[in-house]
Chain A
Amino acid sequence: MIGQSGASVPDDVRDDASLIRSGLLDSTALFELAVWIEERIAPGLDLTTFDLAEEWDTLAKLMRFVERYRRE
Chain B
Amino acid sequence: MPYDVVPYEPELEPEIVRLQQHFYRDAARSAAYFRWKYAENPFLDQTILQLAVSAGRVVAMRGMFGAVWQVDDPSTRHLLPCADDFVVDPEHRNRGVARLVLEATVAEGARRDLRFALSFSAGPVTYVNSLATGWRAVGSYRTVQRERPSKGPPRWIRQVTGRWLRRLRLRGALDRVRSSLPAASRGPFDRLDRASRHDGRISLSRVPRPQDMAALIARLPWDGRIRHVRDAAYLAWRFRNPMREYRFLFCDDGGLQGYLVLQRSLLDDADPELVNVADWEAADGHVAAALLRAALDRGGFVCVQAWSIGIASERRDVLDAHGFVPAEESGIRARSRGLLVRRLADADERWSLGSRDLLRIDDWDLRMLYSMSA
Contact = CB atoms under 8 A, between A and B. Distances in A.
B137 A48 contact: yes
B98 A23 contact: yes
A45 B335 CA distance: 10
Interface residues of A, number: 26
Among B88, B94, B99, find the residue whose CB has the most chain A CB atoms closer than 10 A: B94
B183 interface: no
Contacts of A48: 131, 136-137
Given A29-B94, A35-B332, A23 B99 contact: yes
Given A27-B125, A30-B132, A46 B335 contact: yes
A53 interface: yes
A31 interface: yes
A21 to B, nearest CB: 8
Given A26-B99, A28-B125, A34 B332 contact: yes
A28 B93 contact: yes
A8 B95 CA distance: 11
B331 interface: yes
Contacts of B133: 53
Contacts of A21: 99
Contact of A27 (B93, B136, B333): B93
A29 B136 CA distance: 21
A48 B333 CA distance: 13
B242 interface: no
Interface in B288-311: none
Nearest to A33: B128
B96 A22 contact: yes
A62 interface: no
A59 interface: no
Interface in A11-31: 20-31
Interface in B121-155: 124-125, 128-129, 131-134, 136-137
Contact of A31 (B100, B129, B134, B335): B129
Contacts of A45: 332
Given A31-B124, A48-B137, A23 B96 contact: yes
A27 B94 contact: yes
Among A21, A26, A31, find the residue whose CB has the most chain B CB atoms closer than 10 A: A26
B132 A20 contact: yes
Nearest to B331: A38
A1 interface: no
Contacts of A20: 99, 132
B94 A52 contact: no
Contact of B332 (A9, A22, A47): A47
Contacts of B93: 26-29
Contacts of B94: 7-9, 23-27, 29
A61 B80 CA distance: 35
A61 to B, nearest CB: 13
Contacts of A35: 331-333
B278 interface: no
Contacts of B331: 35, 38-39
B282 interface: no
Contacts of B368: none
B97 interface: yes
B128 A34 contact: yes
B336 to A, nearest CB: 8
Interface of B: 88, 93-100, 124-125, 128-129, 131-134, 136-137, 331-333, 335
11 contacts: A7-B94, A8-B94, A23-B99, A23-B100, A29-B93, A31-B125, A31-B128, A35-B332, A47-B131, A47-B137, A48-B136
Given A30-B128, A34-B332, A53-B133, 17 more contacts: A23-B100, A25-B94, A26-B96, A27-B88, A27-B93, A27-B98, A29-B93, A30-B129, A30-B132, A31-B125, A34-B128, A45-B332, A47-B335, A48-B131, A48-B136, A48-B137, A52-B128
